[in-house]
Each structure stands twice: as structure tokens, then as C-alpha cells.
Structure 1
Amino acid sequence: MAKKKVKRKELLKEPDEFLTFSARAFNWLHANRNKLLTAGVIIGALIVLYLAGWGYWRYTNKKAQQTYNQAYSILLKSLNPEASPEEWKKAEQGFKRVFEDYGLSKVASLALPEAAMAVYLQGRYDEAIKLYQEFLQDMVEEYQYQSLTKLAIATCFEAKGDAASAKAILQEVLQGPKGPFRAFAHLSLARLYSSTSERDKAKESLEKFIEDLPDSPFIPMAKAMLQRLSR
């Protein structure tokens, strides 16, 4: 998708005096570049440049948050069983605009998994996986985000019929630090093994779950699944 540029006329429509100052600051620096020779003036110029950059950063955050909120509202409505594919597409376009047009904003990274969800709903699983993987790279040190995102990737692989890749991703979650999403990985892995007629591996996964997370609220569900598989 081609990146849509924000036109100068659209920027100036915003009632943001700081942004207007930023533009004037850059223009002044360019017009007086030959005069900025002394150390003191150079430092002053750098401060102006910093303020100008901060003004643009503030602007992109404001616009990005507005765009993100609009797309998120559309996505929530699109989760209704009666939602149309057009609504999923609108949500996708909104989130993609956040990280394509406002990549320096705070919410740019958070828009990636939301866009992936909208793409997933449209059945474009490979593209959804790619977006989730981009988000993983941004959240290298946030293991809970990592775990949740890997669960989403496993779901995409399962949806496209690639059970082997889904199982491999779930194993990665289980080999990582313990967290609130570990139980879902255990249960999902057991369900996948069961769906591919690997009953022994499904039972083994459930037994490991019960041993690994004895205080999990999902233990009754795991025991019920184990009982059903043991018949």
C-alpha cells in the first residue's frame, strides 16, 4: 500500500500554533544559515531545531492517536457477527495509516497488531502473520506482548491449515517465561494435537499444563479435556 503523504495545506488546517512556529523556525534557520557562525548562535539554533522537531512529534502523536481511536472504534464494531467485510477493511486502512503516516508516534507500534487482526478477519492470514511478526520485533523485551502475539500468530497458522507451524509457535510460548498467557498456549497445543489425531501428545500437553500451572483457573477445563481424551 502506497504511503499517503500529509500535505502542507492539511497540516496548517490544524489549530496548532506550536506547529506553525516550528515551520517558521525552520524557514528562519534556512534564510540565516550564513550568519549562524558563532558557537552561541549555533547552540541557540540547535535549541530552535529541537523545539521544532518536538512540535512535529507532538503533532504526529495527536493525529496518530485520533486516527488510532477511530480505527479501533470501527474494529470493535466489526467484531459483531453481523459485521460486513467492508468494516474490517475500514479498520485495516485506519490502523495502517497510523504506522505508515505517523511512524514516529507513540501508538504506531500498537497499530500493527490491530491491523493484523483486521486483516485476519478478512482471511488474509499470511499478511496478518507478517504484521504480527513486525510487532514482535518492536516488543523484543516485553515478554507478555511476545506471548500474546505468538498466540495470535499460531491462530493464523491454524486458520490457514498449517498445524505444524502453529504447534511450533505454541512451543515457543511454553519455553518462555511464565505469564498470564501460558495457559492458553497449553490448551491450544492440546487442542491442536487432538485435532490432528495425536491423542497421546494432547494428553501429555494437558498433563504438563496441570503440573506447570496448578493454580490456573483453567485447570478444570484441562482436566475435562484430559478425561475426554482418556476414554
Structure 2
Amino acid sequence: MAKGGVSRKQLLNEPDKFMTFTGKLIAYAKSHLKVILSCAAVIFVSLIIIATVSQVSRRNEVKASERVEKLVAKYSSVLQDEDAKVAYEQVKSDFNDLFDVYGSKRAVKIARIVYGDMSYSAGDADTAIAMYSHALDDFTQSQGLKNIILSGLGYAYLLKKEYPQSIRYFEMITASEEKTLRSDALFNLAWLYETNGEKERSVAQYKQILADFPDTSYGELIKEKIGG
């Protein structure tokens, strides 16, 4: 046999490492059975809780969506016979309850924008600003939706005659690459600059609208403003 070799007898006499490890593992399991079962129970209960929370969350999302639909339908129904202020008063408390109970649900996040529009139409600029500001935090990743919210803020501050703030939000729309409500924002800026006595900036905005949006519905009005 070669020097340093190990005989088959020696190999057979040596304990198998895997068998030794397995034996120790079994022995540990027996001596710690209660602990192992307790840990398994905790994991199992945790999985049940996660599944239940997920299910409840989905169910609440559906409930929130249904409530939003009903409130919008109620507002629209009242609006057929009454003005925007009366319709707004009819749903105000219901919307506040909705925000308290389901405020984190996606349908309700969208509802804040809708309720902001209702508030603005009723002349309640402060509530509109509060709704739009909250919505702006909710939808920072969607530039199209963000422009809609920024426009709402611009109009709400315009309603309060706080022109610098109104200009700020309309300028945020025109500064982005997203075209949603861009022509509307440019037109409002042109009017605001004109109101502030900034004639040159106003004319520049009007011309920008015609250049970027040649088919704009504001076309004839703008041409009258800038004389051709």
C-alpha cells in the first residue's frame, strides 16, 4: 500500500461525517421540539395575518371605489337641478367621512382631485387647494396627472386672486415635457402676465401657444390680442 494511504478498514472504522451531523440534528430537534414547533407556529400565524391583511385591503379598496362612485353620482344628480355650490354642500360631509375612513386607498386618492374640482366650482378655494396639495403628494410619478393637479392649484389661487402663486403652478406645467394642459397653462400665464402689466411676457406666451399648438381653440382670441 502506498505511503500515507488509508486502509478500507480504517475508513469503515471512521464515523461518517454526514451521519454524525444528521444524528446531532435529530438529537437537537428532539431536545428543542417545543421551541421549533413554537417558531413554526409563529411563522404560520404571520403568513395568515399577511394574507388576511392583503384580503382586507383589497376588500376595502373595492368598498372605497363603490363609495366614490356613489358620491360622484349623488353630486351629478343634485347638479341637474341645483348649482355647483348646493351640490357641493350636499356631498361635503360624505366626502370628509370617505377621506377619514379610506384615505389611503387609490380610488380615494383620485377622489381628492375630483373633490378639489367640486370645491373650486363651489367657490371654496381653500378646500380645493388642500385637496390638490394632498393629491400632488400622492401622484408625483404620473406627470400627466400631476399637470392636472397643478392646473387645479393654479386656478384655485387665481380664484383667491393670489396671482404670484397661480403663476408659479402654471409655470410648473409649462416647464415640463408633458403636454397635458400645457396650452391652457400658457394661455393663463399670458393673461396673468398681462394683468400684472408685463406686456412683453404676455405677448411671448401668446405667440408660444400659436407655435406649439397651431390648432388651439384659443387661436382667434390670441390673434386679436397680439394684433394678427
Q: Does TM, normalized by the shorter one, top 0.5?
A: yes
Tell whether the 8 Å contact from 1:194 to 1:202 is kept in structure 2 after alignment.
Answer: yes
Question: Given the alignment of the two structures, is residue 141 of structure 1 paired with residue 141 of structure 2, yes or no?
Answer: yes
Question: Given the alignment of the two structures, is residue 160 of structure 1 paired with residue 160 of structure 2, yes or no?
Answer: yes
- 1:204 Cα deviation after fit: 0.9
Any residues of structure 2 matched to 1:34-53 within 5 Å, and which? 38-53=38-53
SS of equivalent to 2:178: coil
Aligned residues: 195
State the match for 2:227 in structure 1. 230
Query: Which of 184, 193, 215 is the equivalent residue of 1:217?
Result: 215
Aligned mates of 2:221, 2:103 — CA distance in 1 = 46
- The RMSD of aligned alpha carbons is 2.6
Detail structure 1 runs of 4+ shifted over 6 Å in the superposition. none
Tell whether the 8 Å contact from 1:68 to 1:94 is kept in structure 2 after alignment.
Answer: no
Please say which structure displays the higher CA radius of gyration: 2
Aligned mates of 2:223, 2:196 — CA distance in 1 = 16
- The 1:104–1:221 alpha-carbon spacing in structure 2 relative to 1, beyond 3 Å, is closer
- 1:194 Cα deviation after fit: 3.3
Any residues of structure 2 matched to 1:19-98 within 5 Å, and which? 38-80=38-80, 82-83=82-83, 85-98=85-98
How big is each residue's C-alpha offset from its partner over 1:2-51, in whole Å with a ceiling of 9 and x where there is no partner? Answer: xxxxxxxxxxxxxxxxxxxxxxxxxxxxxxxxx99523222221121122
State the match for 1:21 in structure 2. none
How big is each residue's C-alpha offset from its partner over 1:49-102, in whole Å with a ceiling of 9 and x where there is no partner? Answer: 122212321331122112100111133345558326342123333333333201
Greater relative contact order structure (CA < 8 Å, 6+ sep): 1
What's the % identity of the aligned pairs? 14
- The 1:36–1:153 alpha-carbon spacing in structure 2 relative to 1, beyond 3 Å, is farther
- The 1:161–1:59 alpha-carbon spacing in structure 2 relative to 1, beyond 3 Å, is same
Aligned mates of 1:198, 1:78 — CA distance in 2 = 42
- 1:149 Cα deviation after fit: 0.8
State the match for 2:120 in structure 1. 120
Aligned mates of 1:38, 1:79 — CA distance in 2 = 60
Aligned mates of 1:206, 1:123 — CA distance in 2 = 28
State the match for 1:30 in structure 2. none
How big is each residue's C-alpha offset from its partner over 1:130-172, in whole Å with a ceiling of 9 and x where there is no partner? Answer: 2101100111111111111111111111111112221121111
Which stretches in structure 1 are left out of the alignment for 5+ residues? 1-34
Tell whether the 8 Å contact from 1:199 to 1:229 is kept in structure 2 after alignment.
Answer: no
Instruction: Identify which range, 129-138 or 72-81, moves more after superposition.
Output: 72-81
